[in-house]
Structure 1
Amino acid sequence: MAAVSEVSVNEWHLIETLGKSPTVVSVGGNVKNWATTKRLSPSADVRIDPIIEQVRSSGTKIVLPALDSARDKRSYRIECLPVVGPTGKVHAVQLWIGDPDVTPTPPRIVSGFSWLLERFVIAQTLEAALMSGVKPEDHVPERTPAEYYAKAIKFDDSEAMLAAGLNPVDDQTFDADMSVLHADGRVMRWHMWARGCVEEGERGLRLLWHDVTDTTPPRRPTLAELGMQESVKDSGIYTAVFCTQTAVLALWLPEPAPWVKWRDIPGANQVIHADDRHLLSSAQDKFNLGSTDPVHVVARLRTENDDWRPSTLRISPYPGPLTERLAIVQISPLTES
């Protein structure tokens, strides 16, 4: 029995192509639950899947001004546009199915990006940077996870994203929403979809961002969350999550230490001085043997002037499923006695 069409005529459909089988994840900015593409055909004799696959494989758009349906005795305008990720793979296609005499509205705001586990960086396209108001001349092709998380004023799934990125399972899906502050001061709501990737050179996650602010109000930090940020500033102790084997800063909880340079650094693991990075892995070795006692050390952290400032680190086991790879690190400036 043929699938019943669920296509929305004269509307943009977002179809993720992050893994083996494309699925519909948004229609007109309304998020869908990884829905099948089989119901996109407006008529039994108008096949949409081959068009999606052609755009996915070629990376070029297809425009069919009037595709005839003998069954319906009418025509459909089809436009299919690729959303290319930073490695050149097509992460999604935007599909318009409409009446021939209706001019399509501008495509939705979408971008592709990748979590590359080998170097522990997030690679992004220019389109991804533009979504938050970054000027083209200020675009940076790669960011650390901490820099990317810092875009958000509300993101409750950072741990789940870390877990998915650090232990990628081929084609495994993950999605979440994030509230992001635009450069012009407005708060946006983005939805993210991801699939695990184990291909050589792309091991990690392939991801997709979609601005859905016009259909779904952004969520904002709670008063408790805002209060926690202020108490952190008052205490002078700042908490971060580090990958212990690579010394990569994963994210701040919730505020970054103001004297530490962690944006726009040469490498994702260069927050801590090269001669001090072993302190994290040494602490992890103790935790892996069963110790839960915090490890107190002094390490040099990069400053805004690219100098190195001695700081006190209190390293504790990470209390989640990635406890063998992550640690909670409380950071405070070393005071001279």
Structure 2
Amino acid sequence: MADKWLLIETFGGVEPSVVGVGNAPRRMVALRSVLGRGRYLEDARSAVAKVVADAEPFDGRTADRQRRVLAVPLPTFTGRVHGVHLWIGRPDEEPPPRDPVGAWYFNLSTDKIGGSDDLLDLYGVAPENRRRQRVTAEAFGRLVGNADEAAVLAKIVTSRPGAEHQATWTVRRDDGVLRAADYSCRAVEDILPDGRREVVLRGLALDIGPAESTPSAPPPRPVALAQQVLVAAREPGRHRAIVNLRTLTLLRWLDDPLPGVAWQLDDVNPPAIHPDDVPLAKKLSDGLATAGRVRAVLRLRAASGGWMRVDIAANLMLLDQHTTAALVTVSRPEPGDGESFVQVDGMFQDS
């Protein structure tokens, strides 16, 4: 293995596993499956454990002094190590270049996401545009939809600890270049010092090459959820999105965002439903469970501050056989629409 770095996930919950050899993805295989049960397996495990604990690179020797062991941490901005690049070779060998890998997380309990400088390098984000935290919907802005999209959204909605996912996505970098990246992740429950529990999806993104020349990369066009999206075909002035019914938060835009609405993370004007309209939004969510289609006018936070009235038409959609979300079309209300209402199965209900 002297000519390849091993990419080892350290998401937690189970024993670390190999998710890449060089720039070739692996399906979370046990370290012993790659190294065998030879004399260096325990040296590798020890180096990985030390790097995770210290969050510092390791440069040492195997127990028999015959091999050099290099291990490099892959942390997020929070400092937690999501993966380790591991190389074992002869002391006189020069290690090969490491393939680009970025660490990332989705906090499924708070709707906050974050990454690392390595991830933002992979995405081609300019230094002046780098933020340490965003909201979930911002992650999907640069990912081209693929056949695994519904499965990923279902895992975000259910927020079940232990859930894992691996898939290759096409990434549209900020400079317009399309790259293929293999994503690996696992949902893990964290217990905070105050006793609160949060479910965090911890992941790595391995750059595996130009999208156009990578056979496993999905084509650069939306292919997932296509049949359900046809139910709410795009019309001028209307913008489609997928919304988490459990949390009433935006999962992703299918079109350009509605102009003027606050949907990105902002300390001054964060995304929000007007507090007085939250009961109305919950009524919309409950109505979808039985009617399959509802309409409402709600006040959402405006990007410039204050609130803006938005017409919402929502259809129930299946992400998998057990998980649903809302396919929502948003627009500015037509003149004469009431201040707020919910319409279920063609009948208006007082808010």
Bin the TM-score by the shorter chain.
Answer: 0.7 to 0.9
Residue equivalent to 1:117: 108
Amino acid in the other structure paired with 2:333: L
Residue equivalent to 1:35: 29
Describe the superposition over 1:195-217 as per-residue Cα deviations: whole angstroms up to 9, x where unpaired.
12112244131111111116835
In the aligned structure 2, how far is the partner of 1:314 from the partner of 1:42? 56
Residue equivalent to 1:281: 282
Describe the superposition over 1:215-252 as per-residue Cα deviations: whole angstroms up to 9, x where unpaired.
835433348899x99x9665332211222353311111
Which of residues 169, 172, 181 in structure 2 aligns to 1:178?
A: 169
Moved more, 100-109 or 142-151: 100-109
Amino acid in the other structure paired with 1:14: L
Partner secondary structure for residue 95 of structure 2 = coil
Residue equivalent to 1:5: none
1:44 equivalent to 2:24? Answer: no
1:179: how far off? 1.0
Residue equivalent to 2:11: 18
1:103 equivalent to 2:84? Answer: no
Amino acid in the other structure paired with 2:8: I
Amino acid in the other structure paired with 2:7: L
Alignment gaps of 5+ in structure 2: 193-197, 337-351
Residue equivalent to 1:55: 51
Residue equivalent to 2:291: 291
Moved more, 315-324 or 195-204: 315-324
Moved more, 149-158 or 319-328: 319-328
Moved more, 132-141 or 217-226: 217-226
Residue equivalent to 2:154: 163
Q: How many residues align?
A: 321
Partner secondary structure for residue 113 of structure 2 = strand
Amino acid in the other structure paired with 1:249: L
Partner secondary structure for residue 318 of structure 1 = strand
1:126 equivalent to 2:122? Answer: no
In the aligned structure 2, how far is the partner of 1:281 from the partner of 1:234? 26
Amino acid in the other structure paired with 2:153: L
Partner secondary structure for residue 275 of structure 2 = coil
Amino acid in the other structure paired with 1:311: V
Partner secondary structure for residue 48 of structure 1 = helix
In the aligned structure 2, how far is the partner of 1:299 from the partner of 1:223? 29
Q: Where do residues 87-236 of structure 1 align in structure 2 (5 Å cutoff)?
A: 87-201=78-192, 202-213=198-209, 216=214, 218-222=217-221, 234-236=235-237
Amino acid in the other structure paired with 1:331: V
CA contact (8 A) 2:296 2:313 kept: yes
Describe the superposition over 1:125-181 as per-residue Cα deviations: whole angstroms up to 9, x where unpaired.
233223211123322121111110111123332322222223233333211121111
CA contact (8 A) 1:85 1:125 kept: yes
In the aligned structure 2, how far is the partner of 1:232 from the partner of 1:54? 53
- RMSD between superposed Cα atoms in Å: 3.1
Partner secondary structure for residue 67 of structure 2 = strand
Task: Give the TM-score normalised by structure 2.
Answer: 0.79
In the aligned structure 2, how far is the partner of 1:101 from the partner of 1:220? 43
In the aligned structure 1, how far is the partner of 2:147 from the partner of 2:71? 33
1:273: how far off? 3.3
Alpha-carbon spacing, 1:184–1:285, altered in 2? closer, same or farther (3 Å): closer
Partner secondary structure for residue 320 of structure 1 = strand
Amino acid in the other structure paired with 1:16: E
